[in-house]
């Protein structure tokens, strides 16, 4: 298999063609009546119960003083005034945003390339794709504890390699300058398969006519990937990026079990500060204020990505095919 074979979906390399659409499809589609508002009701109810209602409850708790037992007591804006003066919040936001940016920069190209490759007809592709997706089947706790044992400076893989090379064993998760990037690597191993699955499905929907036209113009495999595959996947890149960035704002279990926020506060993300405030310090009201801050930051980043990418103005790339 050549290097370029990994950049095209299955139908493009196999030379397959899509069946032409019926001539009267457009007119019949426009003549159909649009679904009524009732079709939105089930999704609307689920969204209201499992998304809007919890946010409303958290917003109310952020205005109370509550230790998790008994009834909450109204505290007004006391928690929000405390949040403004909390010196750990700016640090937590900085670490969280750094983790978000680096995670996106690492996971996006890996998931994109693996997704496009796994959409092709390569030999043993199905077996290798199944191996890639194994992390999706593991629990977050199992992943964090396994990597913690694997990176142990005394008995883990770095120690074994250092002993073989007769050099000092590095303490990767104990180094304040490296710990965050170790977390990024573990999170990439954990979540790249999910985004690979998204890109794989999108790559299989790219019309083969585009690759055939590019090949007639003399475009190489790499050129076809840059000029055809990437533009056709821009919708998917935006959707995957929103999921990735918003999800990175809730990274918690892996960091808690792998580094505990350390060494020092090198990996002390804002969700971890929220957890310790609520479930260690039993200050549920202030923890609710931190949670609502995360919701606002996540929603703001999502809107910014959609607006900056022009996602709301995108039309179908397959129009007229």
pLDDT tens profile 238-263: 999 989 988 888 888 899 999 999 89
* pLDDT reported for residue 225: 92
Helices 234-248, 179-203: axis angle to 10 degrees equals 150
Average pLDDT, rounded, for the chain: 84
* pLDDT reported for residue 305: 82
| Residues 10/201, Cβ–Cβ less than 8 Å | no
* pLDDT reported for residue 208: 87
H or E element in which residue 202 lies: helix 179-203
Q: Could you tell me where the DSSP H helices lie in 35-178?
A: 41-47, 53-61, 78-85, 88-118, 125-132, 140-150, 157-165
Bigger pLDDT: 160 vs 128: 160
- Specify which residues 65 forms β-bridges with: 73
What confidence tens digit (pLDDT) does each residue in 37-90 have?
Answer: 888 888 899 999 998 999 999 999 999 999 988 899 999 999 999 999 999 999
In this model, does residue 6 exceed pLDDT 50? no
pTM: 0.80
């Amino acid at each position: 298999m050549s290097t370029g074979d990994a950049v095209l979906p299955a139908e493009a390399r196999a030379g397959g063609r899509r069946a032409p659409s019926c001539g009267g499809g457009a007119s019949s589609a426009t003549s159909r009546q649009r679904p009524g508002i009732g079709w939105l009701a089930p999704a609307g109810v689920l969204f209201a119960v499992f998304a809007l209602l919890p946010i409303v409850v958290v917003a109310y708790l952020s205005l109370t003083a509550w230790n998790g037992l008994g009834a909450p007591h109204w505290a007004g804006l006391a928690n929000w005034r405390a949040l403004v003066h909390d010196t750990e919040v700016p640090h937590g936001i900085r670490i969280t945003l750094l983790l978000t940016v680096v995670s996106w920069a690492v996971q996006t190209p890996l998931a994109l390339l693996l997704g496009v490759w796994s959409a092709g007809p390569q030999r043993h592709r199905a077996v290798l794709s199944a191996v890639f997706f194994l992390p999706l089947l593991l629990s977050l706790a199992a992943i964090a504890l396994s990597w913690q044992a694997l990176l142990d400076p005394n008995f883990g893989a770095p120690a074994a390699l250092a002993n073989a090379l007769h050099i000092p064993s590095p303490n990767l998760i104990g180094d304040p300058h490296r710990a965050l990037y170790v977390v990024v690597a573990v999170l990439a191993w954990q979540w790249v398969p999910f985004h690979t699955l998204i890109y794989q499905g999108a790559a299989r929907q790219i019309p083969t006519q585009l690759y055939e036209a590019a090949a007639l113009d003399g475009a190489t495999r790499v050129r076809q990937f840059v000029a055809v595959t990437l533009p056709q996947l821009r919708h998917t890149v935006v959707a995957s990026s929103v999921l990735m960035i918003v999800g990175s704002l809730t990274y918690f279990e892996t960091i808690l079990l792998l580094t505990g926020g350390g060494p020092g506060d090198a990996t002390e993300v804002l969700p971890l500060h929220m957890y310790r405030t609520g479930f260690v310090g039993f200050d549920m009201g202030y923890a609710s204020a931190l949670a609502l801050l995360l919701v606002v930051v996540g929603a703001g980043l999502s809107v910014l990505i959609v607006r900056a990418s022009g996602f709301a103005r995108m039309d179908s790339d397959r129009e007229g095919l």
